[in-house]
Structure 1
Amino acid sequence: MTTTPRIDDVVYDARMTVNLAEDLLLLGYEDDGTPTPDSGTLDYGLAGAVLVELALEGRIRLAAGRVHVDEPAFTGDRVLDHGLDRITGYGRDATPGELLDGIRGGLRDRVLEGLVARKVLRRETHRILLVPHPRFPSATGGQPPVETETRARLTAFVNGGPADPRTHALATLAVAAGLTASAFPDTPRTQIERRLAEQGPEPWPAATVREILDEIQIAIVAITTMFMTGG
Protein backbone atom coordinates (compact mmCIF):
# COMPACT_ATOMS: atom_id res chain seq x y z
CA MET A 1 0.00 0.00 0.00
CA THR A 2 1.33 3.42 -0.96
CA THR A 3 1.28 5.95 1.87
CA THR A 4 0.89 9.63 1.03
CA PRO A 5 3.81 11.55 2.58
CA ARG A 6 2.92 14.04 5.31
CA ILE A 7 4.72 17.35 5.64
CA ASP A 8 5.57 16.60 9.28
CA ASP A 9 7.50 13.51 8.14
CA VAL A 10 9.83 15.44 5.83
CA VAL A 11 13.38 16.08 7.05
CA TYR A 12 14.64 19.46 5.89
CA ASP A 13 18.24 20.44 5.30
CA ALA A 14 19.42 24.01 5.84
CA ARG A 15 19.41 25.72 2.44
CA MET A 16 21.69 28.61 1.61
CA THR A 17 19.28 30.42 -0.71
CA VAL A 18 16.13 32.22 0.40
CA ASN A 19 12.67 32.06 -1.11
CA LEU A 20 10.33 34.98 -1.78
CA ALA A 21 8.49 34.61 1.53
CA GLU A 22 11.79 34.75 3.45
CA ASP A 23 12.89 37.80 1.47
CA LEU A 24 9.57 39.50 2.23
CA LEU A 25 9.71 38.68 5.93
CA LEU A 26 13.20 40.18 6.27
CA LEU A 27 11.86 43.40 4.75
CA GLY A 28 9.05 43.41 7.32
CA TYR A 29 11.24 43.07 10.41
CA GLU A 30 13.34 45.70 12.19
CA ASP A 31 17.02 45.15 12.98
CA ASP A 32 16.06 44.48 16.60
CA GLY A 33 14.00 41.49 15.50
CA THR A 34 10.51 42.96 15.84
CA PRO A 35 7.95 43.49 13.04
CA THR A 36 8.00 46.88 11.35
CA PRO A 37 5.09 49.31 11.99
CA ASP A 38 3.73 48.71 8.48
CA SER A 39 3.67 44.90 8.71
CA GLY A 40 0.01 44.51 9.67
CA THR A 41 -0.82 42.43 6.60
CA LEU A 42 2.58 40.73 6.32
CA ASP A 43 1.07 37.26 6.81
CA TYR A 44 -1.09 37.70 3.71
CA GLY A 45 1.94 38.90 1.78
CA LEU A 46 3.89 35.82 2.89
CA ALA A 47 1.06 33.56 1.71
CA GLY A 48 1.02 35.39 -1.61
CA ALA A 49 4.78 34.97 -1.90
CA VAL A 50 4.41 31.21 -1.49
CA LEU A 51 1.83 31.06 -4.31
CA VAL A 52 4.07 33.12 -6.60
CA GLU A 53 7.12 30.98 -5.82
CA LEU A 54 5.21 27.78 -6.53
CA ALA A 55 4.04 29.29 -9.83
CA LEU A 56 7.60 30.31 -10.73
CA GLU A 57 8.67 26.70 -10.15
CA GLY A 58 5.86 25.38 -12.34
CA ARG A 59 4.16 23.60 -9.43
CA ILE A 60 0.83 25.42 -9.76
CA ARG A 61 -1.09 27.29 -12.42
CA LEU A 62 -4.35 29.15 -12.84
CA ALA A 63 -7.18 27.38 -14.64
CA ALA A 64 -10.45 29.29 -15.00
CA GLY A 65 -9.33 31.63 -12.22
CA ARG A 66 -8.55 28.84 -9.76
CA VAL A 67 -5.25 27.40 -8.58
CA HIS A 68 -4.51 23.94 -9.94
CA VAL A 69 -1.60 21.86 -8.62
CA ASP A 70 0.40 20.28 -11.44
CA GLU A 71 3.11 18.79 -9.22
CA PRO A 72 2.04 17.94 -5.64
CA ALA A 73 5.30 16.24 -4.55
CA PHE A 74 7.08 18.08 -1.73
CA THR A 75 9.84 20.44 -2.82
CA GLY A 76 12.26 20.09 0.09
CA ASP A 77 11.62 23.70 1.07
CA ARG A 78 9.66 23.82 4.35
CA VAL A 79 7.91 27.07 3.39
CA LEU A 80 6.81 25.98 -0.08
CA ASP A 81 5.79 22.55 1.21
CA HIS A 82 3.59 24.26 3.80
CA GLY A 83 1.85 26.01 0.93
CA LEU A 84 1.47 22.86 -1.15
CA ASP A 85 0.09 21.01 1.86
CA ARG A 86 -2.54 23.69 2.46
CA ILE A 87 -3.47 23.94 -1.24
CA THR A 88 -3.89 20.19 -1.74
CA GLY A 89 -5.74 19.92 1.56
CA TYR A 90 -8.27 22.59 0.60
CA GLY A 91 -10.49 19.96 -1.00
CA ARG A 92 -11.04 21.69 -4.31
CA ASP A 93 -9.37 24.10 -6.70
CA ALA A 94 -9.66 27.54 -5.08
CA THR A 95 -8.94 31.10 -6.13
CA PRO A 96 -5.66 32.70 -5.02
CA GLY A 97 -7.63 34.97 -2.71
CA GLU A 98 -9.34 32.02 -1.02
CA LEU A 99 -6.01 30.29 -0.45
CA LEU A 100 -4.34 33.25 1.28
CA ASP A 101 -6.20 32.56 4.53
CA GLY A 102 -5.43 28.86 4.49
CA ILE A 103 -1.75 29.25 3.71
CA ARG A 104 -1.02 32.09 6.13
CA GLY A 105 -1.88 30.06 9.23
CA GLY A 106 1.41 28.99 10.81
CA LEU A 107 3.38 30.24 7.83
CA ARG A 108 5.29 33.05 9.57
CA ASP A 109 6.58 30.57 12.16
CA ARG A 110 7.88 28.29 9.41
CA VAL A 111 9.59 31.19 7.64
CA LEU A 112 11.23 32.34 10.87
CA GLU A 113 12.17 28.76 11.74
CA GLY A 114 13.96 28.35 8.43
CA LEU A 115 15.87 31.61 8.76
CA VAL A 116 16.94 30.73 12.30
CA ALA A 117 18.03 27.23 11.21
CA ARG A 118 20.30 28.76 8.57
CA LYS A 119 21.63 31.31 11.05
CA VAL A 120 20.27 34.29 9.13
CA LEU A 121 18.31 35.25 12.25
CA ARG A 122 18.46 34.17 15.87
CA ARG A 123 15.63 33.74 18.34
CA GLU A 124 15.54 35.76 21.57
CA THR A 125 12.86 35.97 24.25
CA HIS A 126 12.07 39.29 25.96
CA ARG A 127 9.57 39.71 28.75
CA ILE A 128 7.04 42.51 28.74
CA LEU A 129 5.04 42.67 31.97
CA LEU A 130 6.30 39.13 32.69
CA VAL A 131 4.86 37.87 29.38
CA PRO A 132 7.51 36.32 27.06
CA HIS A 133 7.71 37.84 23.59
CA PRO A 134 10.01 36.41 20.90
CA ARG A 135 12.31 38.56 18.79
CA PHE A 136 14.30 37.55 15.74
CA PRO A 137 17.30 39.84 15.27
CA SER A 138 20.10 39.19 12.81
CA ALA A 139 22.41 36.36 13.80
CA THR A 140 25.40 38.58 13.02
CA GLY A 141 24.24 41.66 14.90
CA GLY A 142 23.91 43.80 11.78
CA GLN A 143 21.62 43.61 8.78
CA PRO A 144 21.70 40.05 7.40
CA PRO A 145 23.85 39.91 4.23
CA VAL A 146 21.00 38.29 2.29
CA GLU A 147 18.71 41.20 3.21
CA THR A 148 21.37 43.72 2.18
CA GLU A 149 21.62 42.04 -1.22
CA THR A 150 17.84 41.97 -1.60
CA ARG A 151 17.51 45.65 -0.75
CA ALA A 152 20.22 46.50 -3.27
CA ARG A 153 18.27 44.68 -5.99
CA LEU A 154 15.05 46.46 -5.06
CA THR A 155 16.77 49.86 -5.04
CA ALA A 156 18.30 49.22 -8.45
CA PHE A 157 14.90 48.14 -9.75
CA VAL A 158 12.96 51.22 -8.61
CA ASN A 159 15.74 53.44 -9.97
CA GLY A 160 15.28 52.03 -13.46
CA GLY A 161 17.63 49.07 -13.46
CA PRO A 162 16.82 45.70 -15.01
CA ALA A 163 14.55 43.35 -13.08
CA ASP A 164 14.38 39.60 -13.03
CA PRO A 165 10.97 38.01 -12.33
CA ARG A 166 11.75 37.38 -8.66
CA THR A 167 12.78 40.98 -7.98
CA HIS A 168 9.70 42.29 -9.78
CA ALA A 169 7.48 39.87 -7.86
CA LEU A 170 9.07 40.80 -4.53
CA ALA A 171 8.62 44.52 -5.19
CA THR A 172 4.97 43.94 -6.12
CA LEU A 173 4.33 41.80 -3.04
CA ALA A 174 6.00 44.35 -0.74
CA VAL A 175 3.72 47.10 -2.01
CA ALA A 176 0.62 44.87 -1.86
CA ALA A 177 1.44 43.82 1.71
CA GLY A 178 1.79 47.44 2.82
CA LEU A 179 5.56 47.27 3.29
CA THR A 180 6.32 50.19 0.99
CA ALA A 181 8.04 52.27 3.67
CA SER A 182 10.05 49.31 4.96
CA ALA A 183 11.11 47.95 1.59
CA PHE A 184 11.70 51.29 -0.15
CA PRO A 185 12.75 53.84 2.50
CA ASP A 186 13.01 57.41 1.19
CA THR A 187 11.50 56.42 -2.18
CA PRO A 188 8.20 58.10 -3.14
CA ARG A 189 5.38 55.61 -3.54
CA THR A 190 4.47 57.16 -6.89
CA GLN A 191 7.94 56.32 -8.19
CA ILE A 192 7.61 52.71 -7.07
CA GLU A 193 4.17 52.28 -8.58
CA ARG A 194 5.29 53.94 -11.83
CA ARG A 195 8.24 51.56 -12.06
CA LEU A 196 6.03 48.53 -11.46
CA ALA A 197 3.60 49.74 -14.12
CA GLU A 198 6.44 50.08 -16.64
CA GLN A 199 7.13 46.35 -16.51
CA GLY A 200 5.31 44.52 -19.26
CA PRO A 201 4.76 40.77 -19.53
CA GLU A 202 8.31 40.15 -20.77
CA PRO A 203 9.93 39.29 -17.40
CA TRP A 204 7.52 36.47 -16.66
CA PRO A 205 8.50 32.91 -17.60
CA ALA A 206 4.83 31.94 -17.62
CA ALA A 207 1.67 34.00 -17.91
CA THR A 208 0.19 32.23 -14.87
CA VAL A 209 2.79 33.87 -12.59
CA ARG A 210 1.64 37.33 -13.60
CA GLU A 211 -2.00 36.30 -13.31
CA ILE A 212 -1.54 34.86 -9.82
CA LEU A 213 0.37 37.95 -8.71
CA ASP A 214 -2.44 40.18 -10.00
CA GLU A 215 -5.05 38.12 -8.12
CA ILE A 216 -2.99 38.26 -4.91
CA GLN A 217 -2.73 42.05 -5.13
CA ILE A 218 -6.49 42.38 -5.52
CA ALA A 219 -7.16 40.01 -2.61
CA ILE A 220 -4.75 41.73 -0.20
CA VAL A 221 -6.15 45.15 -1.05
CA ALA A 222 -9.67 43.83 -0.36
CA ILE A 223 -8.54 42.33 2.97
CA THR A 224 -6.78 45.54 3.99
CA THR A 225 -9.83 47.61 3.10
CA MET A 226 -12.03 45.31 5.17
CA PHE A 227 -9.75 45.71 8.19
CA MET A 228 -9.67 49.50 7.86
CA THR A 229 -13.43 49.80 7.53
CA GLY A 230 -14.18 47.24 10.24
CA GLY A 231 -16.05 45.04 7.81
Structure 2
Amino acid sequence: MSSVHEHYDSHLAPIYLWMVGGFDNAVALGKSDLDALGIKPDTHKVALDLGAGFGMHAIPLAREGCSVTAIDNSSLLLDELRARGAGLPIHAMEGDLLNASRYVSEAPQLVLCMGDTLTHIQSKGEVEGLFSEVSRLLAPKGLFAMTFRDYTSPAAGDRRFIPVRSDDSRIHTCFLEEEPTHMVVHDIVHERTGDAWLMKVSAYRKLRLSPDWVSSALREVGLSPTISAGPRGMVQIVARAA
Protein backbone atom coordinates (compact mmCIF):
# COMPACT_ATOMS: atom_id res chain seq x y z
CA MET A 1 0.00 0.00 0.00
CA SER A 2 1.39 3.37 -1.01
CA SER A 3 1.07 6.60 0.94
CA VAL A 4 -0.94 9.37 -0.71
CA HIS A 5 2.26 11.20 -1.62
CA GLU A 6 3.92 8.07 -3.05
CA HIS A 7 0.81 7.16 -5.02
CA TYR A 8 0.56 10.54 -6.71
CA ASP A 9 4.29 11.05 -7.12
CA SER A 10 4.95 7.79 -8.95
CA HIS A 11 1.57 6.75 -10.36
CA LEU A 12 -0.96 9.54 -10.96
CA ALA A 13 0.92 12.83 -11.28
CA PRO A 14 2.61 11.86 -14.59
CA ILE A 15 -0.81 11.24 -16.19
CA TYR A 16 -2.95 13.69 -14.23
CA LEU A 17 -3.53 16.20 -17.02
CA TRP A 18 -4.53 13.35 -19.31
CA MET A 19 -6.93 12.01 -16.65
CA VAL A 20 -8.86 15.29 -16.53
CA GLY A 21 -9.09 15.68 -20.28
CA GLY A 22 -6.23 18.10 -20.79
CA PHE A 23 -5.30 21.48 -19.35
CA ASP A 24 -7.85 23.66 -21.15
CA ASN A 25 -10.73 21.37 -20.24
CA ALA A 26 -9.64 21.17 -16.60
CA VAL A 27 -9.25 24.94 -16.20
CA ALA A 28 -12.66 25.50 -17.81
CA LEU A 29 -14.16 23.11 -15.25
CA GLY A 30 -12.28 24.92 -12.49
CA LYS A 31 -13.68 28.26 -13.65
CA SER A 32 -17.18 26.77 -13.65
CA ASP A 33 -16.65 25.51 -10.08
CA LEU A 34 -15.62 28.99 -8.94
CA ASP A 35 -18.55 30.66 -10.71
CA ALA A 36 -20.94 28.28 -8.95
CA LEU A 37 -19.42 29.32 -5.61
CA GLY A 38 -20.05 32.99 -6.39
CA ILE A 39 -16.39 33.92 -6.10
CA LYS A 40 -15.93 37.64 -6.77
CA PRO A 41 -12.43 38.95 -7.58
CA ASP A 42 -13.22 42.34 -6.04
CA THR A 43 -14.00 40.79 -2.62
CA HIS A 44 -11.76 37.71 -2.78
CA LYS A 45 -8.45 39.33 -3.69
CA VAL A 46 -6.23 36.98 -1.68
CA ALA A 47 -6.71 33.21 -1.89
CA LEU A 48 -5.13 30.04 -0.53
CA ASP A 49 -5.53 26.89 -2.65
CA LEU A 50 -4.89 23.69 -0.69
CA GLY A 51 -3.99 20.71 -2.88
CA ALA A 52 -3.70 23.01 -5.88
CA GLY A 53 -2.18 20.46 -8.25
CA PHE A 54 -1.46 21.92 -11.69
CA GLY A 55 -3.72 24.93 -11.07
CA MET A 56 -7.24 23.87 -12.05
CA HIS A 57 -8.64 26.54 -9.72
CA ALA A 58 -5.59 28.69 -8.98
CA ILE A 59 -5.10 29.71 -12.61
CA PRO A 60 -8.67 30.91 -13.29
CA LEU A 61 -8.59 32.76 -9.95
CA ALA A 62 -5.32 34.46 -10.84
CA ARG A 63 -6.61 35.34 -14.31
CA GLU A 64 -9.31 37.35 -12.55
CA GLY A 65 -6.68 39.28 -10.61
CA CYS A 66 -6.66 37.27 -7.39
CA SER A 67 -3.34 36.71 -5.62
CA VAL A 68 -3.13 32.96 -4.97
CA THR A 69 -0.89 30.91 -2.71
CA ALA A 70 -1.04 27.38 -4.14
CA ILE A 71 0.12 24.50 -1.94
CA ASP A 72 0.68 20.91 -3.05
CA ASN A 73 3.12 18.13 -2.20
CA SER A 74 3.66 17.05 -5.83
CA SER A 75 6.67 18.76 -7.37
CA LEU A 76 5.66 17.47 -10.79
CA LEU A 77 2.20 19.03 -10.66
CA LEU A 78 3.58 22.27 -9.22
CA ASP A 79 6.11 22.50 -12.05
CA GLU A 80 3.16 22.27 -14.45
CA LEU A 81 1.38 25.01 -12.49
CA ARG A 82 4.42 27.29 -12.60
CA ALA A 83 4.82 26.79 -16.35
CA ARG A 84 1.11 27.22 -17.16
CA GLY A 85 0.67 30.12 -14.75
CA ALA A 86 3.81 32.06 -15.67
CA GLY A 87 3.19 35.78 -15.29
CA LEU A 88 0.12 35.33 -13.08
CA PRO A 89 0.00 36.29 -9.37
CA ILE A 90 0.44 32.70 -8.15
CA HIS A 91 2.89 31.64 -5.45
CA ALA A 92 3.32 27.88 -5.89
CA MET A 93 4.66 26.22 -2.76
CA GLU A 94 5.61 22.58 -2.27
CA GLY A 95 4.52 21.51 1.17
CA ASP A 96 1.97 19.89 3.47
CA LEU A 97 -1.45 21.55 3.46
CA LEU A 98 -1.76 20.68 7.16
CA ASN A 99 0.95 23.32 7.75
CA ALA A 100 -0.68 25.97 5.57
CA SER A 101 0.13 28.86 7.92
CA ARG A 102 3.83 28.47 7.11
CA TYR A 103 3.19 29.68 3.57
CA VAL A 104 0.71 32.51 4.21
CA SER A 105 1.82 36.10 4.77
CA GLU A 106 -1.59 37.79 4.39
CA ALA A 107 -5.00 36.68 5.65
CA PRO A 108 -6.87 35.12 2.71
CA GLN A 109 -10.46 36.07 1.92
CA LEU A 110 -10.82 32.69 0.23
CA VAL A 111 -9.47 29.23 1.06
CA LEU A 112 -10.09 26.36 -1.36
CA CYS A 113 -9.78 22.63 -0.75
CA MET A 114 -11.28 21.27 -3.96
CA GLY A 115 -11.40 18.02 -5.88
CA ASP A 116 -11.23 15.19 -3.37
CA THR A 117 -8.31 16.70 -1.47
CA LEU A 118 -9.99 16.55 1.94
CA THR A 119 -10.30 12.76 1.89
CA HIS A 120 -6.57 12.44 1.20
CA ILE A 121 -5.96 13.54 4.80
CA GLN A 122 -5.57 10.33 6.76
CA SER A 123 -7.37 10.98 10.06
CA LYS A 124 -10.30 12.99 11.39
CA GLY A 125 -7.99 14.54 13.97
CA GLU A 126 -5.83 15.96 11.17
CA VAL A 127 -8.94 17.27 9.39
CA GLU A 128 -10.00 19.01 12.60
CA GLY A 129 -6.51 20.48 12.89
CA LEU A 130 -6.72 21.81 9.33
CA PHE A 131 -10.11 23.38 10.00
CA SER A 132 -8.77 25.07 13.13
CA GLU A 133 -5.81 26.45 11.18
CA VAL A 134 -7.99 27.73 8.34
CA SER A 135 -10.32 29.40 10.84
CA ARG A 136 -7.35 31.27 12.32
CA LEU A 137 -6.04 32.25 8.89
CA LEU A 138 -9.26 33.43 7.24
CA ALA A 139 -9.95 37.14 6.96
CA PRO A 140 -13.22 38.34 8.54
CA LYS A 141 -16.22 37.21 6.44
CA GLY A 142 -13.87 35.02 4.40
CA LEU A 143 -14.94 31.82 2.67
CA PHE A 144 -13.61 28.28 3.06
CA ALA A 145 -14.89 26.18 0.13
CA MET A 146 -14.34 22.47 -0.26
CA THR A 147 -15.59 19.55 -2.31
CA PHE A 148 -15.13 15.87 -1.51
CA ARG A 149 -16.61 12.45 -2.18
CA ASP A 150 -18.93 10.97 0.41
CA TYR A 151 -17.72 7.41 0.99
CA THR A 152 -19.97 6.76 4.00
CA SER A 153 -22.26 4.66 1.77
CA PRO A 154 -19.74 3.25 -0.70
CA ALA A 155 -20.49 1.61 -4.00
CA ALA A 156 -21.06 -2.14 -3.95
CA GLY A 157 -20.69 -4.93 -6.46
CA ASP A 158 -19.84 -3.91 -10.00
CA ARG A 159 -20.18 -0.22 -9.08
CA ARG A 160 -16.86 -0.50 -7.24
CA PHE A 161 -15.20 -0.49 -10.68
CA ILE A 162 -15.02 3.09 -12.00
CA PRO A 163 -13.83 3.87 -15.53
CA VAL A 164 -11.85 7.11 -15.36
CA ARG A 165 -10.69 7.65 -18.93
CA SER A 166 -9.46 5.68 -21.93
CA ASP A 167 -8.05 6.27 -25.38
CA ASP A 168 -6.06 4.29 -27.95
CA SER A 169 -2.92 4.21 -25.81
CA ARG A 170 -4.08 4.32 -22.18
CA ILE A 171 -6.92 2.99 -19.99
CA HIS A 172 -7.43 4.13 -16.40
CA THR A 173 -9.84 2.30 -14.06
CA CYS A 174 -10.39 2.64 -10.30
CA PHE A 175 -11.43 -0.14 -7.97
CA LEU A 176 -12.78 0.72 -4.49
CA GLU A 177 -12.32 -1.48 -1.44
CA GLU A 178 -14.11 -0.67 1.81
CA GLU A 179 -12.43 -0.44 5.24
CA PRO A 180 -14.06 0.76 8.48
CA THR A 181 -12.57 4.29 8.40
CA HIS A 182 -11.09 4.49 4.90
CA MET A 183 -11.64 3.48 1.32
CA VAL A 184 -8.76 1.79 -0.47
CA VAL A 185 -8.53 3.17 -3.99
CA HIS A 186 -6.76 0.95 -6.52
CA ASP A 187 -5.74 2.91 -9.62
CA ILE A 188 -5.22 0.50 -12.52
CA VAL A 189 -3.51 1.97 -15.57
CA HIS A 190 -2.99 0.05 -18.81
CA GLU A 191 -0.59 1.65 -21.30
CA ARG A 192 0.15 0.44 -24.81
CA THR A 193 3.82 -0.17 -25.61
CA GLY A 194 4.11 -1.24 -29.22
CA ASP A 195 1.76 -4.18 -29.72
CA ALA A 196 1.49 -5.00 -26.01
CA TRP A 197 -0.36 -3.52 -23.02
CA LEU A 198 1.52 -2.86 -19.77
CA MET A 199 -0.51 -2.78 -16.55
CA LYS A 200 0.52 -0.59 -13.60
CA VAL A 201 -1.35 -0.80 -10.29
CA SER A 202 -1.04 1.31 -7.15
CA ALA A 203 -3.35 1.68 -4.16
CA TYR A 204 -3.77 4.20 -1.36
CA ARG A 205 -6.30 5.05 1.36
CA LYS A 206 -8.91 7.82 1.37
CA LEU A 207 -10.61 8.92 4.56
CA ARG A 208 -14.35 8.30 4.83
CA LEU A 209 -15.98 11.61 5.79
CA SER A 210 -19.68 12.35 6.05
CA PRO A 211 -20.97 15.83 5.16
CA ASP A 212 -22.66 16.11 8.56
CA TRP A 213 -19.42 15.33 10.42
CA VAL A 214 -17.48 17.83 8.31
CA SER A 215 -20.10 20.52 8.96
CA SER A 216 -20.02 19.82 12.70
CA ALA A 217 -16.22 20.03 12.76
CA LEU A 218 -16.35 23.37 10.92
CA ARG A 219 -18.86 24.78 13.41
CA GLU A 220 -16.59 23.69 16.27
CA VAL A 221 -13.92 26.11 15.02
CA GLY A 222 -16.34 29.00 14.58
CA LEU A 223 -17.21 28.70 10.90
CA SER A 224 -20.74 28.60 9.45
CA PRO A 225 -21.06 25.82 6.84
CA THR A 226 -23.64 25.22 4.11
CA ILE A 227 -23.89 21.82 2.40
CA SER A 228 -24.93 21.45 -1.23
CA ALA A 229 -24.44 19.15 -4.19
CA GLY A 230 -21.06 19.77 -5.76
CA PRO A 231 -19.60 19.24 -9.21
CA ARG A 232 -18.84 15.82 -10.70
CA GLY A 233 -20.75 13.86 -8.06
CA MET A 234 -19.03 15.41 -5.05
CA VAL A 235 -20.38 17.12 -1.93
CA GLN A 236 -19.75 20.86 -1.66
CA ILE A 237 -19.46 22.72 1.63
CA VAL A 238 -18.91 26.47 1.89
CA ALA A 239 -18.07 27.77 5.35
CA ARG A 240 -18.09 31.46 6.27
CA ALA A 241 -15.98 33.17 8.89
CA ALA A 242 -17.68 35.46 11.38
> What is the TM-score of this pair, normalised by structure 2?
0.29
Higher relative contact order (CA 8 A, sep 6+): 1
Greater strand share, 1 or 2?
A: 2
